[in-house]
């Protein structure tokens, strides 16, 4: 961290102007450029003095001796702290987002579309992770005999997550249909954890006419047909090509693109920085604590929640030179929309 420059109103305005100018142009910012656009009427000499103080404090750096200044990572962090959160998206952007997400009834579809929408609206990388957890309620199960000692088990939750697996079991299709019917009629709407606990109890206690049925269910149960794999994640990444048009270091960019191709690393990245308990959008500048290849990149993200339940996370990843206010506003808007859409679909 830089030393505290005891930033006052004048220093804050100059630093903000430099950050916003550099985000807009991508070029080092000089005192004359700021003087021309400065509403306070500060002279180039005064601005140069302020810039020198900010440089000494570690908020600005000079790429070349004859060039202007560019923000450091800590300048971006300071700038983000000053953002009020009162900005709104343009009406046409809100309409585009709402139209893109209209008609969705499950989490995976929402996440897939959202990654695309975030990449479009931010001109960076849109990333979403749908998490299957114990709080996902059962919608239905389906079992199908594939051949000798092979059964396909499909489990669908009310949040839209689908889990399928092939089991080594020798059960007839009629037995599988009875087992699926029993589970769907008795446990639709139950959380996965509660359903498995109750089924385990019934397997131990039911007898008589249910012996054969419960035997089939027990075999399916023990083979993991009803395991939702809490923590299993589906990752969607859109817009990596947006980074290629930037001026980032090519080697570092290649490392970043390679990271984005490895979905488990993307999930790891969001898991490292986004707390499911957080209420507001989080901005993380410099992601190298989690992944060294992401040193010069930024994550702006939020949990995807409905009520108290968290179904994943959504974020934008891009270079430090990005439109923070606009991206924060977009991520916040979509996170709120997720809660609204999921509640309406239930």
Rounded CA separation 210/260 (Å): 50
Summarised one tens digit per residue, pLDDT across range 309-329 is 778 889 999 888 899 999 999
| CB atoms near residue 98 (< 10 Å) | 15
CATH architecture, range 138-222: 2-Layer Sandwich (3.30)
Judge whether 298 and 287 are in contact, CB under 8 Å: yes
Rounded CA separation 122/187 (Å): 42
Position 44 scores a pLDDT of 82
Rounded CA separation 77/129 (Å): 25
Position 343 scores a pLDDT of 67
Rounded CA separation 326/281 (Å): 12
Rounded CA separation 218/183 (Å): 12
Judge whether 202 and 177 are in contact, CB under 8 Å: no
Vertex 236: Cα angle to 235 and 241 (nearest 5): 135
In eight-state DSSP terms, residue 137 is: B
Rounded CA separation 148/260 (Å): 40
Largest CA distance in the chain: 94
Summarised one tens digit per residue, pLDDT across range 129-139 is 887 554 567 88
Rounded CA separation 89/46 (Å): 35
91-132+232-345 fold: Beta-Lactamase (3.30.450)
Rounded CA separation 309/287 (Å): 27
Both tokens of residue 158? Answer: 């009310």
Rounded CA separation 153/166 (Å): 6
> Residues in the chain with pLDDT < 50?
1, 3-5, 134, 209
Position 3 scores a pLDDT of 43
Q: For residue 61, what are the β-bridge partners?
A: 70
CATH of domain 9-82: 1.10.10.10
The predicted model scores a pTM of: 0.71
3-state SS of 134-167? CCCEEEEEEEEEEECCEEEEEEEECCCCEEEEEE
- Nearest Cα neighbor of 76 from 334, 293, 327 is 327
Judge whether 38 and 47 are in contact, CB under 8 Å: yes
Rounded CA separation 82/42 (Å): 22
Break the chain into its structural domains and give their ranges: 9-82, 91-132+232-345, 138-222
Position 134 scores a pLDDT of 41
Side-chain-side CA neighbours of 115 within 13 Å: the count stands at 21
Taking the CA atoms of residue 286, residue 266, residue 126 and residue 83 in that order, the dihedral angle to the nearest 10 degrees is: -30
């Amino acid at each position: 961290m830089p030393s505290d420059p005891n930033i006052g109103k004048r220093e804050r305005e100059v630093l903000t102007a430099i950050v916003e100018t550099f985000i807009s142009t991508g070029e080092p910012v000089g005192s004359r450029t700021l003087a021309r656009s400065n509403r306070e009427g500060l002279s180039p000499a005064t601005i140069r003095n302020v810039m020198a103080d900010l440089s000494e404090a570690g908020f600005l750096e000079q790429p070349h001796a004859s060039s202007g200044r560019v923000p450091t990572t800590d300048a971006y962090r300071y700038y983000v702290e000053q953002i009020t959160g009162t900005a709104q998206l343009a009406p046409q952007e809100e309409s585009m987002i709402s139209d893109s997400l209209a008609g969705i009834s499950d989490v995976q579809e929402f996440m897939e579309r959202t990654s695309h929408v975030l990449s479009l609206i931010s001109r960076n990388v849109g990333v979403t992770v749908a998490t299957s957890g114990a709080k996902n309620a059962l919608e239905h199960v389906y079992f199908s005999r594939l051949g000798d000692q092979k059964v396909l088990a499909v489990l669908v939750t009310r949040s839209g997550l689908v889990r399928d697996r092939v089991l080594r079991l020798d059960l007839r299709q009629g037995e599988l249909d009875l087992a699926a019917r029993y589970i769907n009629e008795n446990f639709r709407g139950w959380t996965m954890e509660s359903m498995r606990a109750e089924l385990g109890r019934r397997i131990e206690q039911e007898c008589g006419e249910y012996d054969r049925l419960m035997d089939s269910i027990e075999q399916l149960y023990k083979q993991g047909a009803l395991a939702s794999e809490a923590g299993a994640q589906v990752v969607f990444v859109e817009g990596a090509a947006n980074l290629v048009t930037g001026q980032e270091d090519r080697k570092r960019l290649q490392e970043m693109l390679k990271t984005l191709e490895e979905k488990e690393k993307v999930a790891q990245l969001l898991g490292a920085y986004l707390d499911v308990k957080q209420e507001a959008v989080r901005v993380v500048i410099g992601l190298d604590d989690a992944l060294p290849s992401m040193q010069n990149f930024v994550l702006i993200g939020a949990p995807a929640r409905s009520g108290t339940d968290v179904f994943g996370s959504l974020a934008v990843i891009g270079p430090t030179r990005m439109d923070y206010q606009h991206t924060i506003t977009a991520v916040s808007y979509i996170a709120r929309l997720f809660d609204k859409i999921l509640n309406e679909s239930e």
